Chain A
């Protein structure tokens, strides 16, 4: 028997009460971890987007959300595929390449994937990161030279070197690395998507974006499969950089008035702002958790001290000093802090991993370093909350163990 064991035995005795004491701090930590996990991935995605995005103009339906470039087309409203032709046949100069897409979430064997219909040559031509997949044919060269102005817009000219895909059969598909892994699909094998059998023509290299969860198939096959005939949800355009500066976006808006036309730079800027906002939100939560979590722990500890007045009086009577009483209660708060930090981290990470792909279109992985921050915050808040109850516990008189006569 020692003081640590005594604390532990008492702790186990009242474990059901702990749930209410832990609730606020655990949820607070979970929210901070969840937001931080998503924003860290989102920040990385911004960097990846800047480096690897092929197309530099995105045509979307008017009602679509452009907070995240990679997920902007997912489940977006549609517009006619005929718009591609409208651009191609217009007199607008500076459109080097176009890639119409139709994207929808689908479920295969109970797991969610993103199915994207592409017109192969155009789509793959605009993705430099796929260049090492071995699918590509002739190299395309961007028609504009390097310009510092273009870097300000969010892309680098040297990245505008593309290769195109020669063909993608109507029953072929290509899989992002994560999707292939989850489906245990290999090149040359078959996979059933929405009742139709596709042959896996290629498994793509990992990109670190939601593209890893995508399955690409021919646009017209996807349209047939989803019953959305002659409609697309986005058109990626590789525009000549100088042409963008000369008002290409405005010209495109003139011929496609019911669409939303934006550049990668604008989308990435929106994403950076969202990330900043998420960081601010997590800071606000940090402040809230210090107050609510601290008060909650303090309230729990004070209730515990009141319930154990006779017991603490007994400890004092048999020689436990005030310092030992403080230590016992702060040790208890320390254990609460550890539990709150660990459980909060697990819940927050799990929520981010589950909700990240669902709502932000991002594949979120656990960030081990966050557990140390979670523990630090949780333990500090618990100890702060327990200071006053511990101080008052040291002042408890042992008199109520004696019978006045």
Chain B
């Protein structure tokens, strides 16, 4: 498959760009933060996204989707990364939607997936328990059809209608469906450094509604779903770094010191040119990986780790250099470049950071 966008994907990218620029610029993220928004995201923007079909973009038509593919969804993510727009697209659509679509029962698809695709319900995965990414480990357990345990860093946990929760079983990891309104669920909302939300969710003998797959299927399901999430998050991170880089280049041309544009200094030019090259590498990995999801490639795990590692590393580079090149003004809250630094750190640690994926890549390659 050629490493270029199809005409339809290009059109979607263009309309996503217009939409986010017009409806959700960084100023609205600042607004959500300063006004301590209940939801943590703009619900009007979210319902618009649902109206345009983006929440169902990758799902089958039978469940209200458009069957358009992840390479297309990736373009929306890239554009939303440029405006740093928070929404439950990652937690509900990409992680939970992908999981139910691939491993859920017909009944779960008809109800849960259809509701996710319509943007009517927010479903989020609760799986981290320790202070680092360990998707195969769970202390949480189920007895008498009731789940108990504590989950950390549950994205959009405070607005979720339904949780998908990992728990250990005798056969390995299992994934359970739990109603957020059930008794025994307690949700503690945290605001993260990028102004997005993650919750600590405690389950105390909460009745389980159903399972996704069977006990012991959890590891396999988590690997596949998280690989899709890693690639999609990398697309969003790519958009953010492209935007941060463009803003930095514009600043280098505008800002004058010693009577000249600071962009004329070779000390900055070489670092800028190097970043340009690295961002081009990221673009290629992201597009290849998005296409690999649609092609159901056997290389998905390898590609996901390669992409998340590389994009994480370069997101860090570009956001750090952005601050440094903006100088003092870059340290102020008024200047938006700092928002990219904060988002880059959160995204870097979500679904496995650089270290995790370098190690996983080597393990997948047997060395």
Q: Does B associate with A?
A: no
> What residues make up the interface of B, taking CB atoms closer than 8 Å to A?
none
